[in-house]
Chains A and B, each alone.
Chain A
Amino acid sequence: MIKSNMIEVHNSSFRDPSGFIYARDGVVYRQINKSYSGNFEYFRESGLLKELQDRGMLIQHKDVDINTSFSGDAYRVIKPQLIPYITYPFEWSFSQLKDAALLTLDLVAEALGAGMILKDATAYNVQFLHCKPIFIDTLSFEKYIEGEAWIAYGQFCRHFLAPLALMHYVDISMNQLLRTNIDGIPLELCCRLLPKRAKLSMGLLFHLFFHSSAIQHNSDLGPSKGKASEKKKSISKNGLLGIIDNLKTTIRKLDWQPQRTEWAQYYQNTNYSNGAFEKKVNVVDKLTKEIQPLSVLDLGANNGTFSRIAARYAKTVVSFDCDPAAVEKNYLECRNSGEKTILPLLIDLTNPTSSFGWCCAERDTILQRIKCDMVYALALIHHLAITNNLSFDKIAQFLNCLCNNLLIEFVPKSDSQVIGMLESRVDIFDTYTIDEFEKSFCKYFKIIHKVSIDNSNRVLYLMTNNVSL
């Protein structure tokens, strides 16, 4: 945030001259500039704004006093509905990105029907609220001028179609290219990575391969021949709707089936007996009930089995996992069951999202964006300590920054999971003992409960933060 007299303008809100997001005393507002007044009034008066908000496609907002504006060119100030957790497209599973893409296309089609169009189509304009995608940029709608092309077509292809096609045809981890390409995956790069068979899809042939060639060819021509001149060629509204419809059809056909990965099948393969697993579930339920947290962050959540227990008590639950298959399963389960509390995210705790973009501050780190009352770190400690060589002290310090209440499971060396981890490497972990674990964690937390899980060697701890770093 850029600070100015107790008001902070969000670092990512600088591109569009129509307005910007800022926070005053911790409350988030959006200033609508005078230059956008005509479009905004049309958006309101046409009924499109209300229609999209009523259908849950666009974020709700309240009109507030213009005296709360940030600068003199304010036309209006609105207070958007709060999105508890802002997330980025490379933190979403395949179906989350696909649902966000389809929402964006639905919005373009709806807008065209009401004589408007989306002037941008960045994936950062979509967030997840109650496990559904929602468009958060109220100022993205502008009046449609008959004959004009869709200005955000290229951006849509880079932000949505390219990563989805790469995830479908090449590898599920291809969405991580969005991490290094803030304005979407360059189409030329996408087309080089896609297999030839991708051209058999008419949509991909048009929107990626032809599109990329046209961009490349035009840039080869240089500015004098490649730039616009006086003569106009128009595109009919029906033609634009045809493009939108074809993009929808193309995206609907792209899918990804989670394979039988190590983590996707974790609960089937673990050494827990049924009784031990049931005991763990009961203890987690009881300890969470005791805390009554407003929000829970489930680290290494897998398919969200324990996140669902947290959801019985918390208003929001964020489930982190580094396995795309587990996150996909979790999201699909939430979507299909109508679960509104859980937000599954693809996060690798050993390399979480850092800040990036302009001045390294345009987009925030995951730790700036996700704050919770309670953290679950179940069956996680051995992965951090043994696979990633982290000391208990470093892990405790990290968890201390995240929460006030910690539910953590200690997995001893005698556990079959740890034995398997140490089979192929030298055991350099002399300090990996329950005593050292407690010693390190007691520097930052106070142990409230310590419960052994019957028929397993694992121990569950409920701790509260006793140090504020």
Chain B
Amino acid sequence: MRDPIQPTEPTGPMQTDARAASLPVLSVGDLTALVKNTLRSQPRLREVWVEGEVGQVSISAAGHCYFTLKDERAQLKCVIFRDDRMVMPFEARTGLRLLAQGSIDVFDAQGVYQLYVRSIQPSGFGDLALQFEALKAKLAAEGLFDPARKRKLPPMPHNIGVVTSLSGAVLHDIRRVLARRWPMARVVVSACQVQGQGAAATIVAALRRVGRWTDEESGCATDVVILARGGGSLEDLWPFNDESVVRAVAAHPCPVVVAVGHETDVTLAEFAADVRAATPSVAAELVVPARVDELARVNQLGVRLNGALNQTLVSLRQQLATETRALEARHPQAQITADRERVGVLLDRAARVVARRLEVERSNLSRAADSLPALVAGGIAIARGDMRRESAALNALSPFATLERGYSIVRGPDGAVLTDARKAKQGDQLSVRLQRGEIGARVETVRDSGS
């Protein structure tokens, strides 16, 4: 420290008094340093625990938190530096009672002494932690958290219940995910308060409400329920540790997914949930399948459907060829023609069905392909190729191919295909369809082949 005694010209009463008392004159900096050293020399102030209520709080641009702790008699300035603040489980907020640990020092630039806080706990936290452990042990002993009683989520829910607050981002997040992944669902929101006094009772009431609801048309209840809130401090999560909430989750008639959005602390409601999700968005993803996956599955089944019909037609053609050879050997011409006609009509119908399908599918698929990822679009291209092959197979089977080989189709006076000689009378007008053109004919004789 510099020698504070510098002889100067007396210019005012203060200096006169100081000199008269023969006290040294200190600069502000020197005095502040003196106070600082005095405080620092007190071991009692180097490590203190202090309890009080948080008054004004401000966060600086650099991320440091400045606040006052107060009780009925005094106020204490406190600071939490950014790095310490980032790892603390909750923030100092006005009105909160808390226990702060740190050291007392002087901030020279502002001439204040303050508490440099290293850690904070909610006041009375010790009691809460004890309550939490006791309740957890009690409910665990009852089997509420037993993995064996956890229910599986339905693969494709029709009705989804959401229990959360109407304010805040949680509901939007859930809606956005469900609308993208599974818009076929119906979502019913049962509003509750997720924090503060009385929140637990509103959560229980909201769960009951959604449990009592049924779809007006189908009479079905919800298939699954999401109970969610978005993060918050440890004390904000407290309603999710309330015994009544935990029991309501465990006893709910359908599976419950709980998303509380707090990384470090698991609430009892989450232990009781059928599924625990890290965030509300993740909860929404867990309860529904992805529509893109299902679209790919439907397309895959479509490919198999086409393949199966093709296979059926191929084996029927082989069967037909075998039977035809057997019949030709026995020569009952009329019978063969009748069989041919029957098969021809069916194959004609199959060809029409497939042609119509090709038409519809082509427009459907090109529409779908625009909005689908490349993976699915690839599947569609395969499906198209399959259908082209099938129509080629069908052409080979069409009744015209049969006529080409010299068979004809005979129709009676009523236009119906004639398959039985006994149905024709002498003198009937018949029409005979050949591969090319038609012939009008009259019945001369009728012979029952007797076969």
Asked if A and B bind, the verdict is no
Chain B contacts to A: CB under 8 angstroms? none
